């Protein structure tokens, strides 16, 4: 599914917000909205954009495209369990959160092998971002953040002496000032 006008505007605002930063490598999910967002961000830069299925959104199987209300209407036992986060469930035909985290860890390894010393731009989805937090911060630290990722937000990590550090979490570009 391509970006709509609002998503495209958010991607352009994000590109402007990131314009002062240089990147040595760029990779995005190979799914449409992430690809288009990444293309908007790297436009005009001397930067090749790679696509990696490891950064795809979590596979939700039979839940794909449904809201939580629609899911609990079809599977009422889920509402009684009082847990709305996908990490507690594996939808039929879908992917577990643990499997998503393994996939994201592999994607991180590929990206850092491609550019071990440089700044890497990754454009992905909320599910892999939650997986990334768990992979780089550990489950306990990731849980403590209680984050719900905003569209077109920036989360930034740095690595020093083999240890990852969360520098920025879910930062969005400021709204453009009215004329």
Q: What value does the mean pLDDT take over residues 143-163?
A: 91
Q: What value does the mean pLDDT take over residues 80-84?
A: 65
DSSP 47: -
> What value does the mean pLDDT of the chain take?
91
Q: Is residue 83 pLDDT above 80, yes or no?
A: no
From residue 146, give the alpha-carbon distance in Å to each of 48, 54, 165: 34, 24, 17
89 vs 101, which has greater pLDDT? 101
* pTM of the complete model: 0.89
104-125: pLDDT as tens digits: 999 999 999 988 889 999 999 9
Distance CA 91, CA 78 (A): 11
Domain boundaries, the chain: 5-58+97-172, 59-94
Q: Which fold has domain 5-58+97-172?
A: Rossmann fold (3.40.50)
Q: Give the distance from CA 26 to its chain's centroid.
A: 14
């Amino acid at each position: 599914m391509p970006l709509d006008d609002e998503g495209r505007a958010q991607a352009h605002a994000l590109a402007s917000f990131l314009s002062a930063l240089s990147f040595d490598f760029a990779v995005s999910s190979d799914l449409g909205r992430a690809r288009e967002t990444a293309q908007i961000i790297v436009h005009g830069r001397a930067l090749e954009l790679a696509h990696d299925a490891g950064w795809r959104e979590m596979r939700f199987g039979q839940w794909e495209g449904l809201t939580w209300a629609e899911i609990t209407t079809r599977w009422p036992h889920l509402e009684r369990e009082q847990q709305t986060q996908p990490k507690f469930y594996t939808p039929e035909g879908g992917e577990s959160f643990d499997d998503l985290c393994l996939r994201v860890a592999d994607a991180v390894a590929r990206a850092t092998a491609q550019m071990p010393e440089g700044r890497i731009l990754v454009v992905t989805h909320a599910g892999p971002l939650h997986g990334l937090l768990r992979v780089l911060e550990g489950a306990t630290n990731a849980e403590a953040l209680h984050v719900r990722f905003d569209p077109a937000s920036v989360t930034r990590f740095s690595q020093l002496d083999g240890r990852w550090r969360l520098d920025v979490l879910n930062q969005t570009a400021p709204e453009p000032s009215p004329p």
